[in-house]
Amino acid sequence: MEDPRDDEQYRGRLTPEQFEVTRNKATERPFTGKYWDTKDVGTYLCVCCGEEIFSSEAKYDSFCGWPSFYQVLDNQKIDAELDTSLGMTRTEVMCNHCGAHLGHVFPDGPKPTGLRYCINSASIDLKVDN
């Protein structure tokens, strides 16, 4: 069985942008990702391992240019750690199963959580409800 945290296994399965975002912690440019303004109903999965991370019910327009969610499906599905890169202090969000970089979470979101999970489109895949 492959180690889900072994970056090299994803190189051939992901686009170059997806690989850079998820495995090398890059950030896509705002307003360019596939899902920043999507209104489709469904579940957002980690693009690397398929773990269910977000529901479209928690998605909202934060006007930041990235898909934004006010909560995850299950807090056990993500890891969070302090990120002080680029001269900023923020909280990085990663897939708990495979370690993929998803984006960041900020304390300026709407009720009921007050959180804004600012997620790269390149790190997620939408499974649309039928």
What pairs with residue 104 in β-bridges? 92, 118
Which of 46, 48, 95, 118 is labelled catalytic?
A: 118
What does the block give as tokens for 78? Answer: 């993500």
**Alpha-carbon gap, residue 62 to 77, rounded angstroms:** 23
Closest among 105, 92, 109 to 22, alpha carbons compared? 92
| 95 noted as active-site residue | no
C-beta separation of 70 from 55 below 8 A: no
What pairs with residue 127 in β-bridges? 43
Give the catalytic positions in this structure. Answer: 118
